[in-house]
Amino acid sequence: MRKLNKSSREIAVKVLKANGYKLTKQRQSLIDILFEFEDRYIELTKLDQLMREKYPKMSHNTIYRNVKEFATIGIVEESQSEVDGKTEVKLDCNEQHTHHHHFICNNCGKVRGLEMCPLDFFEEQLPGAEITGHHFELYGLCAQCKKELSKVG
């Protein structure tokens, strides 16, 4: 198991506590598992499986409820897989706790945060409208996978 990023772990725990949640050993384990996959999304069913290996008596509902709570307070992002529509989750907290979007490599699955949000562009095209939410992701090949795949083909 690789070494965990302590600053990101501290941020997640800080946000959890600031929102009135206790840091139970199960929640700490959930954070630890998410940190193991911090550069990519993990299927919710896989996360559930890993948690239940550690805590066999823990219910699916408890795991899913905690993931939803983590998403609500902004330390986990949920997404639907472009391939099969399954729910995927990713630890997604940073020091600034800022709004951002992602580029996801279709080959290796790594996720990279994007600095710019395109919402302003769309708001200009919808004068008078009230946009209440949005979700934006880019998919493709990261530079490393593109380079490696071009060597093969």
Question: Region 116-129: what's the mean pLDDT?
Answer: 84
Q: What CATH number does the domain containing 74 carry? A: 1.10.10.10
In this structure, the answer to whether residues 77 and 110 fall within a common structural domain is: no
In this structure, the answer to whether residues 82 and 109 fall within a common structural domain is: no
pLDDT given at position 43: 92
135 annotated to a ligand binding site: no
99 annotated to a ligand binding site: yes
Residues 6 or more apart whose Cβ sits within 8 Å of residue 109: 40, 41
134 annotated to a ligand binding site: yes
Most confident of the ranges 27-31, 33-37, 38-42, 68-72: 27-31
State if pTM tops 0.75. no
Beta bridge partners of 137: 102
117 annotated to a ligand binding site: no
Q: Give me the number of domains the chain comprises.
A: 2
Q: What CATH number does the domain containing 136 carry? A: 3.30.1490.190
Domain extent at residue 139:
99-153
Confidence check: pLDDT of 107 > 70: yes
In this structure, the answer to whether residues 40 and 110 fall within a common structural domain is: no
In this structure, the answer to whether residues 130 and 152 fall within a common structural domain is: yes
